[in-house]
Each structure stands twice: as C-alpha cells, then as structure tokens.
C-alpha cells in the first residue's frame, strides 16, 4: 500500500494495488497521534472532509495550525509568496507577478481568477 502527496500537511492518498482507495488523515502533537481514513471516490471528493477531520484532530490535541495559508477544494485565499501573488484553485496554483502588475493589481487579478474558477 503506497502513499501519495495531496499538497496538504497530514493528508495523504491511500492506495491498494496501485488504485486510489481514499485519503489518510493523521495529526501528531506532543507524542500523541490521531488518524483515520476518509473513504471517497477521488481526492477532490474527499479533501473537504479530510481537511475538516484534520482540523478536529488538531483542536482535540491542542496542535496549532501550521500551514501559512488555507488551501481548499473551494479555492484558497490569495497570498504573497516571494515575488508573486499565488492562489490555489483546487489542486492547481495560479501565480501573478508583483513586479509586472504591482502588488494591488496582482492581488486583484488573483481574486478575480479565484472567483471565475468558483463560478465554473
């Protein structure tokens, strides 16, 4: 049984004989571990539940939120990373250059891209 990266800390792809078999959710904090399996047909179908479960585990263990930004299947909040404004749209990242467009314009473009993606 192999594991795969989803891009979310503590959430990995579960495989059986090479086929997708759900998502593993695991949170460790101060020597305590909580984990479960989310049964779903695809990563997109189960990621929202997996993120919710991970948040519940973190709260129960008293673990802090360690990701600098929220990435979700519903589109993330635009943020500045290096010389770009980035926004997650599902499993994809869109980047807008601050040098080319300026900070405010790049941020506006990221919000518009997110909204267009949500409207699909």
The answer to the question of residue 14 being in a domain is yes
pLDDT value of residue 7? 74
Do 8 and 50 fall within a single domain?
yes
Q: Is the pLDDT of residue 10 over 50?
A: yes
The answer to the question of residue 67 being in a domain is no
Rounded Cα distance, 116 and 120, in Å: 7
More confident: 18 or 100: 100
- According to DSSP, the residues that pair with 114 across neighbouring strands are none
The answer to the question of residue 70 being in a domain is no
Structural domain count of the chain: 2
Q: Is the pLDDT of residue 79 over 60?
A: yes
The answer to the question of residue 69 being in a domain is no
Q: Is the pLDDT of residue 2 over 70?
A: no
Contact 118, 111 (CB under 8 A): no
pLDDT value of residue 71? 47
Do 105 and 56 fall within a single domain?
no
pLDDT bin (cut points 50, 70, 90) of residue 67 is low
The answer to the question of residue 115 being in a domain is yes
Average pLDDT over residues 106-113: 90
Q: Is the pLDDT of residue 1 over 60?
A: no
pLDDT bin (cut points 50, 70, 90) of residue 75 is low
Do 56 and 84 fall within a single domain?
no
**Mean pLDDT of the residues in the chain:** 83
The answer to the question of residue 71 being in a domain is no
Do 9 and 57 fall within a single domain?
yes
The answer to the question of residue 72 being in a domain is no
Contact 68, 37 (CB under 8 A): no
pLDDT value of residue 78? 85
CA-derived radius of gyration, the chain: 16
The answer to the question of residue 73 being in a domain is no
Do 56 and 89 fall within a single domain?
no
pLDDT bin (cut points 50, 70, 90) of residue 34 is very high
Task: Give me the domain span that covers residue 45.
Answer: 3-61
Do 7 and 54 fall within a single domain?
yes
What is the full DSSP assignment across 33-91?
Answer: EEEEEE--SSHHHHHHHHHHHHHHHHHHHTPPP--SS---TT----EEETTEEEEEETT
């Amino acid at each position: 049984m192999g594991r795969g990266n989803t891009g979310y800390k503590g959430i990995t792809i579960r495989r059986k004989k090479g086929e997708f078999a759900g998502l593993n959710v695991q949170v460790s904090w101060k020597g305590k571990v909580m984990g479960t399996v989310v049964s779903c047909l695809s990563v997109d179908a189960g990621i929202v539940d997996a993120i919710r479960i991970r948040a519940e585990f973190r709260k129960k263990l008293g673990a802090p939120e360690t990701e600098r930004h929220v990435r979700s299947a519903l589109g993330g909040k635009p943020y500045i990373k290096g010389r770009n404004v980035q926004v997650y749209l599902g499993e994809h990242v869109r980047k807008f250059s601050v040098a080319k467009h300026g900070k405010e314009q790049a941020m506006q473009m990221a919000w518009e891209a997110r909204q267009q993606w949500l409207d699909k």
